[in-house]
């Protein structure tokens, strides 16, 4: 299953009644993204461990999030705004200085 499908399925299975439900769903979505890309990061010292390859992997993860959001927008999902802007995976990832540095360097 593709990452955007995993994210979509997780959103659709969540019944949001409270702010805590929304927070839990977002945390689960972030975890799904991390579980997707972390095992794919090339080991340091291997030929594949280039800044470009790492950045491509992260960009694909961010794109999968955006594809999930687009699908939810087409369905007029009521809480789609939770998944956009400052709470998108890309924005959340880049808001952490250490992770932003990794993204900027590609490592």
Give residue-wise pLDDT tens across range 31-44: 999 999 989 888 88
Question: Which structural domain, as residue segments, surrounds residue 20?
Answer: 3-105
> Do 77 and 16 touch, CB atoms closer than 8 A?
no
* C-beta atoms surrounding 81 within 10 Å: 11
> Do 68 and 4 touch, CB atoms closer than 8 A?
yes
Eight-class DSSP state of 75 = T
105 has a pLDDT exceeding 90 = no
Q: Which residue has the tokens 């939770």?
A: 82
Q: For residue 44, is it left (φ>0), alpha (ψ between -120 and 50) or beta?
A: beta
What pTM did the predictor assign?
A: 0.88
Nearest Cα residue to 94 out of 48, 33, 49, 36 = 33
Nearest Cα residue to 68 out of 18, 30, 17, 15 = 30
pLDDT digits (tens, 9 = 90+) for 47-95: 887 888 888 999 999 999 999 999 999 999 999 988 987 789 999 999 9
| Total tally of structural domains belonging to the chain | 1
> Given pLDDT bands bounded at 50, 70 and 90, which one contains residue 104?
confident
pLDDT at 107: 58
pLDDT at 86: 76
CA distance 4 to 15: 19
């Amino acid at each position: 299953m593709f990452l955007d499908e995993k994210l979509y399925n997780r959103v659709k299975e969540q019944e949001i009644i409270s702010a805590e439900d929304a927070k839990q769903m977002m945390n689960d979505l972030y975890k799904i993204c991390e579980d997707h890309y972390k095992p794919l990061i090339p080991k340091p010292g291997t030929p594949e461990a280039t800044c470009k390859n790492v950045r491509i992997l992260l960009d694909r993860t961010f794109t999968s999030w955006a594809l999930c959001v687009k699908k939810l927008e087409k369905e007029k999902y009521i809480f789609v705004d939770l998944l956009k802007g400052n709470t998108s995976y890309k924005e959340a990832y880049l808001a952490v200085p250490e992770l932003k540095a990794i993204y900027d360097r590609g490592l």
